[in-house]
Structure 1
Amino acid sequence: MSIKILYEKLLEPTQSLIESIARLDGDIVILGVGGKMGPSLAKLAKRAVDIAGVQKNIIGVARFSEPGLKDELEQEGITTFTADLLNDSDLQRLPNARNVLYLAGTKFGTTGKESFTWAMNTYLPGRVAEKYKESRIVVFSTGNVYPLVSTESSGANEEQAPLPLGEYAQSCLGRERVFQYFSQQHQTPILIYRLNYANDVTYGVLSDIALAVKNQHPIDLRMGYVNIIWQQDANEIALRSLNHCSVPSKILNVTGTKKLSVRQLAAEFGKIFNREPVFINSEQETALLSDASESRRLFGEPPVSVHQMIEVIAGWINEGGRLLNKPTHFQEREGKF
């Protein structure tokens, strides 16, 4: 089976998602559809709607600075709106919808652009929460709001008090707090979706490690353990989470089932690429780790295994597949992005 066919098979909506979409009333707006996860999320939602046989518009909103993306989504049957969400007139002219997936935000380049980071990640959520106060909203956030925890633990769960390190993570906690405030003010059902780390063939922790091994670049082991999840599985959980929004806001960790050793992941790619991984530094006693037990209780185990992810990502890289060239910086321990 070719890598392209294998990859396409890993993008098919599950029966659980199709049934969840069928139960969901109203259209779905995806704010920030132009980011890393947005296009695949919109396409997955549209495929699930079509298979379920229900009438539901999927609406994608972004600046659409990437050439061709707007046309690509429209060809899939997704309605698009070009908008700068920080421009209030753009925001207010957007269509209302029963369901909102909030993906807008900024991470990389935070250092030196702190004011823009806070405007995007903390000011804008208040404007969106007012605009969509009659909707249910899944708010994408990050496990970076948690402190580094012992690598001997199962990771931070949703009861762990946030302790964000650096202005990016602080602004993300600000995003959460603003949405939580407006959830109470307007009785808006919300779910805070704390994700780390999504992986696709085009980007992610696994791609970062694979490329480093293949190109014989050193891998920093100070962040010696990671959580990962296949992007399609993360997208599915986001869509199914629309049925779990609540007042007060529900917080949900979203990631894979296992704590994974960076050293061992590199060794697996080393076998495939016939390369000896190059390491620098050594594993520290803490890492950014999340416990996603509640997500598994609600949605079950993520279907795509680590082995499947490694196989398809390595094959994609070997065949020269397109990459986003946006490193995750998962090794960062000081909160500077």
Structure 2
Amino acid sequence: MLNETRQDAASPWHAGELAMQRSVGVVERMDGPGRNFIRKAMPEQHRAFFPMLPFVVLGAVDAQGDAWATIRAGRPGFLSSPEPEALDVDLRRDPDDPADAGMEDGDAIALLGIQLETRRRNRLNGVIRRVDAEAFRLRVGQSFGNCPQYIQPRSAAFVRDPDAVTATRPIRSARLDDRTQRMVERADTFFVASYVDRDGERQVDVSHRGGDAGFVRVSAEGVLTIPDFPGNRFFNTLGNLLVNPKAGLVFVDFEAGDLLQMTGKAEVLLDSPEISALQRAERLWRFTPEEIVLRLDALPLRWSSLHRDV
């Protein structure tokens, strides 16, 4: 299923994305959008968008090849674009964040700018250029926008200086406990990092997943089952997971500022009797955590829900 044909080799999509598109019969239809919307530089509206944000979602890969997703906050302006091919990220290193291990000079990384109150989101991936521990420059590999589907609108406010580090230490485990399982099962939003090695270069992605509260189910063994709803047919995440099953998830307690990060293995299910039991789901994927990090009060932001429409 993942063998590339000569025609595929010239495609803007990699083998996993093409396999997902074939599964729903849209390979030819998605070729044009891939060439038109996935750029090697940011358009002006994206360059103006990122400096407005008080937080950013990042996807990184550590030295062991494990994927991690994280959220980092800063006063608006901590993201800036000096040129269309670059984004400057003014964030200090954070040893408590497991994703930070994948943010060395030369590392491939992904970035999602998302404005929850307006439901706007734009994605980037590329390579870090770092000269110190205070900031880095992202050299753009791919830049593209996303539609507002499944984003729960929220407004954010700072409760402390974003440079002030919480004194609470991370809690590490191999399995979900009652507290972290409740955090997953009550969530209406999470973010997922994934990656592939393509043509000698690493391509990382981080994306948003949303639904009604409780849309992620947890089995007695601690395995997460996630429905995949109709979307833009890019299949960046699921395409990556077909090629490389490593994934990193981050869940947010928007009222407390807590982060639940986990890395592990994912499996895409294109055909399962469970799919029909989940309203709107077109397919499923499962995630088995291998390492879990709970960081209480990790974020200096607190969010208030605006409404609950998906």
TM-score of the superposed pair, with normalisation by structure 1 = 0.23
Whichever structure has more helix as a proportion of its residues is 1
TM-score of the superposed pair, with normalisation by structure 2 = 0.25
Whichever structure has more strand as a proportion of its residues is 2
Larger of the two Rg values belongs to structure: 1
